Structure 1
Amino acid sequence: MEMTFNSERKQTSIIPMTIVAVLFFVLGFATWLNGSLMPYLKQILQLTPFQASLILFSFYIAVTFTALPSAWVIRKVGYKNGMALGMGVMMIAGLLFIPAAKTQIFALFLCAQLVMGAGQTLLQTAVNPYVVRLGPEESAAARVSVMGILNKGAGVIAPLVFSALILDSFKDRVGLELTQRHIDEMANGLVIPYLGMAIFIGALAWVVKKSPLPELLNEDNDAEINSVGQIKEALSHPSLALGVAALFFYVAVEVIAGDTIGTYALSLGIASYGVMTSYTMICMVLGYTLGILTIPRFISQPTALMISAILGVLLTLGIIFGDNESYVVANTLLVPFGGAQLPDTLLMIAFLGLANAIVWPAVWPLALSGMGRLTCTGSALLIMGIAGGAFGPLFWGLTSSISSIGQQGGYMVMLPCYLFILFYAVKGHKMKSWQ
């Protein structure tokens, strides 16, 4: 899709890039806040693992239903207004958490999550093109990597902020049966933080609306690009169709690793369960950094993808069959430096962040290779793979609810995901026909 600025491009893009960087941070903050929110609501509302997984499902399923409508909205109002509108929807979602907390009605929390996911989808659809267009095309990959680090870096900070503002006062209640008074106190603890977040996002929306961000114009016919015929033709390419599936499975395991780790920590009686997502995000940022330094200088994209998948399989087996009373990893890597003593199984979930980090940037170029005029349609289909974030935790929750398996055994749902990614790295991306 060709895009041009409708005004003269400024010699410097520092201010626009700074605004875009802030938006990517906000996206990451709101997304990875789910890792702390999920176990917190599980405790307050006394949810089963399956019910708790619906908190993530309602957030990520919004991508499936609102991705194409978001593109239509942006064609009508423009990219800059689309960003402001997306944040306006996110602000409404933040405000919806207030009546949800006051009434403690699970359906209202799910509604708030769905609206938050819809707002994020609109914002992402609008903001991503700026990363490519605000600077030389040859350095676009570097800008994408920086934005990815900002997004995951926000995932490190969000649980820490959530814990500091909400969880610290209630750490002594982990593992205890809560009275209604305790539940009311914990639920009301969500009101001020979410009100503050809604006000901040609303103010940021106004800043973006009034900012000097240049508008982007589409010169192609989007209706033609999104036509059924184009989609069918794109999916006739095995490397693209299998790439969509690979991203679906990748986002599934990424969200399981990032957003269920707190719930699993809560089941083990870990008082600091609210910050566990930060451990996974730190590993992801490390993985991003390693990818920037090593690909393609030392290893190719398919090789990096293969290594990631194998590491994911090994860590998953370690989680499933590991001993929750073993602290070897923590005693080696954390305790000597003043870190917490955490079970090996919990830290292996965090290490999945390292295995997952390279998958997204590796699959995209492999899936779009040779697509030519179908590149835009292929990109839209790849974005739809984010829906894996809705179904991965859902299947984890269903499996975890089986008494003979439990939450630890529930992580077995990641095995077929990593095995498929391994297949794509070894063979799937090379397939040129279905014969």
Structure 2
Amino acid sequence: MALLASLFFIWGFITVINNTLLPHLRSVFELSYTQTTLIESVWFIAYFVASIPSAKLIERVGYKKSMVIGLCMMAVGALGMIPAARLPSYGVTLFALFVIACGITLLQVAANPYVAVVGPANTASSRLNLVQAFNSLGATLAPLFGGYLILGRSTGGTATAEQVLTPAERLADAQAVQLPYLIVAVVLILLAIMIARYPLPAMGGKRVEKSERGSHSLWRHRNLVFGIPAIFIYLIAEIGVANLFINFVSQPHIGNVTHEKASHYLFLLWGGMMVGRFAGSILMRSMSAERVLAGAAIGACIVMLIATFTTGPTAMWALIAVGLFHSVMFPTIFTLGIRGLGPLTEEGAGLLIMAIAGGALVVVQGWLADMYGLQMSFLLTAACELYVLFYALWGAKPTNAFPDNR
């Protein structure tokens, strides 16, 4: 569990570096909101493309080797950001980030179901919320790292929202990502070496034999059928908030701060997710996961409406507060989605991880921001919270569940 917590930490850290990278790239390449969010869409398309190959690779070489391969892929992608910065090239940047995301997908397919089934089923949500809290710890620290080494060392990161950069300043700013990603690559390689030397235990459980497979259908399990779109839709909400946060807070009528200072507030957003996951892990020991999830969905919808229709500090702090409510959503939906799947757990988990590709549709929010304004685009996030509420109240109820024999 401690080793898995370190994996959750590192992929949370690397994923959230994107939140400081995106406003930086928007300045360097003079991108629209649609083009900016397309960068994150490419990141999440990797989940759709790589999930099934990842599952097959795990089946072929085992969990430990797959984790090592995933970390090495991430390191290669991080090193690819260096030539992308030197050129500089928008296309090479997209490819490097895609490689990193494929490596993270491999780790996700391995680690999430492992944590969920390694203990009693009735505490699976609590357990996954606990290790996901370490994912949020990495996400909390990432804005400070990116804010200091990327935004703090660039002209665009320390400029006001209205300032227009010269071509020479944009070229100089592009070089700022080299050191952070070199550090990330070194850490990933060291972690891969550590895991390769660690005697990771095999995950228990048998897959359904091919001769029996015809009598079992994943689609007879309502909690999984509605859980897949719940993960997909939730990711649109989480990634949309995180990716547009710095641009939102830096606007004159909201926070009126530089991108570098806005990244410090992003630290609070992810810090709220970390606190919420630790709290959720405790709450779910005495309260049903469905009730906790429903309360989080209602809270998230309320604060998103406040962020949309108010201005100044009120809107800014409402957007920060959504991190607290988003905290429990992914791990809770995931564990509710695989509840009662028995020998079909691995296949169901693979489909839920593939649904993380929903983050790719953040480009829709980018388009809404271009068409109707950044603030109004958060109505999409509020709508996503309503589906999560539906899932908590009805969609998560299992049907045709296998008995828990652990």
Global fold match (TM > 0.5): yes
Letter in 1 for 2:364: F
Distance in structure 2 (CA, Å) of the matches to 1:432 and 1:203: 44
The answer to whether the aligner puts 1:172 opposite 2:197 as a matched pair is no
Superposed, which structure 2 residues align to 1:264-413 within 5 Å?
264-268=248-252, 269-271=256-258, 272-297=261-286, 299-323=287-311, 326=312, 343-391=313-361, 393-402=362-371, 405-413=372-380
Preserved contact between residue 118 and residue 203 of structure 2 (Cα < 8 Å): no
Superposed, which structure 2 residues align to 1:28-177 within 5 Å?
28-128=12-112, 130-131=114-115, 143-170=127-154, 171-175=157-161, 176-177=163-164
Letter in 2 for 1:18: A
Superposed, which structure 2 residues align to 1:190-229 within 5 Å?
190-216=177-203, 219-220=206-207
* Misfit runs of 4+, over 4 Å: 132-143, 215-219, 221-225
Preserved contact between residue 54 and residue 110 of structure 1 (Cα < 8 Å): no
Given the superposition, is the C-alpha separation of residues 19 and 321 from structure 1 closer, same or farther in structure 2, using an over 3 Å criterion? same
Preserved contact between residue 129 and residue 280 of structure 2 (Cα < 8 Å): no
**What is the CA-CA distance between 1:210 and the residue it aligns to?**
2.5
Preserved contact between residue 305 and residue 359 of structure 1 (Cα < 8 Å): yes
User: Which residue number corresponds to residue 189 of structure 1?
Assistant: 176
- The SS at the match of 1:82 is helix
Letter in 1 for 2:158: D
RMSD over equivalenced CA pairs, Å: 2.7
Given the superposition, is the C-alpha separation of residues 91 and 295 from structure 1 closer, same or farther in structure 2, using an over 3 Å criterion? same
- The SS at the match of 1:212 is coil
User: Structure 1, residues 247-281: CA drift from partner, whole Å, max 9, x if none?
Assistant: 21112211122232123234444211333332211
Preserved contact between residue 149 and residue 288 of structure 1 (Cα < 8 Å): yes
Higher mean displacement: 51-60 or 419-428: 419-428
- The SS at the match of 1:407 is coil
**What is the CA-CA distance between 1:132 and the residue it aligns to?**
5.5
Q: Structure 2: state its 5+ residue gaps.
A: 401-406
Given the superposition, is the C-alpha separation of residues 62 and 94 from structure 1 closer, same or farther in structure 2, using an over 3 Å criterion? same
Count of residues in correspondence between the two structures: 392
User: Structure 1, residues 328-374: CA drift from partner, whole Å, max 9, x if none?
Assistant: xxxxxxxxxxxxxxx32222111111121122233234434444443
Preserved contact between residue 39 and residue 274 of structure 1 (Cα < 8 Å): no
Distance in structure 2 (CA, Å) of the matches to 1:138 and 1:239: 15
User: Structure 1, residues 172-203: CA drift from partner, whole Å, max 9, x if none?
Assistant: 32321101221122111111221221122122
The answer to whether the aligner puts 1:428 opposite 2:395 as a matched pair is yes
What TM-score results when the alignment is normalised by the length of structure 2? 0.88
Letter in 1 for 2:352: L
Q: Structure 1: state its 5+ residue gaps.
A: 1-16, 327-342
Letter in 2 for 1:374: L
Preserved contact between residue 252 and residue 388 of structure 1 (Cα < 8 Å): yes
Given the superposition, is the C-alpha separation of residues 24 and 207 from structure 1 closer, same or farther in structure 2, using an over 3 Å criterion? same
Letter in 2 for 1:354: L
Preserved contact between residue 230 and residue 374 of structure 1 (Cα < 8 Å): no
Preserved contact between residue 41 and residue 52 of structure 1 (Cα < 8 Å): yes
What TM-score results when the alignment is normalised by the length of structure 1? 0.82
Distance in structure 2 (CA, Å) of the matches to 1:222 and 1:102: 52
**What is the CA-CA distance between 1:130 and the residue it aligns to?**
5.0
Letter in 2 for 1:307: G
Residue number among 236, 243, 246 corresponding to 1:259 in the alignment: 243
Distance in structure 2 (CA, Å) of the matches to 1:385 and 1:123: 15
- The SS at the match of 2:153 is helix
**What is the CA-CA distance between 1:64 and the residue it aligns to?**
0.6
Preserved contact between residue 309 and residue 419 of structure 1 (Cα < 8 Å): yes
Letter in 1 for 2:308: I
User: Which residue number corresponds to residue 226 of structure 2?
Assistant: 242
